[in-house]
Chains A and B, each alone.
Chain A
């Protein structure tokens, strides 16, 4: 019997919804289109089946998410993952944190960075470039929003171009969205 996960981990858990997901077999054509079901792609997660209750949103959100997180130019992938992680730590989305720290680890092998974040969360001490990115993304994720132009200036100080700065804003903000679905509509199990 799997149990809810309450502590941060880089081992990706299962996600179990609190609402009944859309039934794959009886999904409407619009829901199937939003879930990107094709003859060659029949594997649909419980998360996507849950979001298929609102196909108009899902249909736009998936390409937007992929473009922000996996676009080719601009901010390095690992640094987008760090922005995603900062938001997910602030919002305590255990599942999102696991997915995106594991991606960060695959890209960088920097277990020391992830260990520091899991140990001290928002107070984690990181090398200057990571610190600037992590702190800005975390402060942009709080309510009220704690970030300021001084925090943004630190991004420039550590050498981020305007496009990279923009990508960090987007990667943190899209997790202000993702966390509010993943963490509130279901729970991580392991």
Chain B
């Protein structure tokens, strides 16, 4: 089975990098399982599947990966909650303090995690985000940033091997 990372990185299977990916098949399998755990968890808490897809698309727009944006837009379209769609775009808000605060936090986690302080977590709590949801949101943002970097890294390595 081809995982999402392999599909989007497009590494030729018969290349040396393709062979390396076969050696790391378990890493790819676990990465796919992590994707499912943050995007479509059995217990979503206060982050609906649609909200998760919208925030993932928003973060991928920040980093500029159009293929991954399209992937998460697909999840959003099937998420059954069109209300959160504006959150899929940087700067987008829906007038709901709790979910708008989560979107702003996803922006910070993607763009400038080094600037994070206790105040960012206090702001989420003040906006009504529960502590379990703060952890769920952090895992979602952290995973998407991992995935963006694995795909970007593979794309550069693929280009070098093709030179």
Chain A residues within 8 Å of B, Cβ to Cβ: 18-20, 50-51, 53-54, 56-61, 63-64, 67-68, 73-74, 90-93, 140-141, 143-145, 147-149, 151-153, 155-156, 161-163, 165-170, 172-174, 176-181, 183-185, 187
Contact = CB atoms under 8 A, between A and B. Distances in A.
Contact of A174 (B42, B112, B146, B157): B146
A60 B37 contact: yes
By CB atoms of chain B within 10 A, which of A19, A91, A141 has the most? A19
B48 interface: no
Contacts of A64: 27, 30-31, 34
A159 to B, nearest CB: 13
Which 3 pairs across A and B sit closest by C-beta, in order of nearness?
A169-B153, A92-B114, A180-B142
Contact of A151 (B109, B112, B131, B156): B156
A144 B149 CA distance: 10
B121 A91 contact: no
Contacts of A169: 149-150, 153-154, 157
Interface of B: 15-17, 19-21, 23-24, 26-27, 30-31, 33-34, 37-38, 41-43, 45, 62-64, 109-114, 116, 118, 120-122, 131-132, 134-136, 138-139, 141-143, 145-150, 152-154, 156-157, 159-161, 163
Nearest to A4: B118
B64 A144 contact: yes
A73 B23 contact: yes
Given A152-B157, A169-B154, A169-B157, A54 B149 contact: no
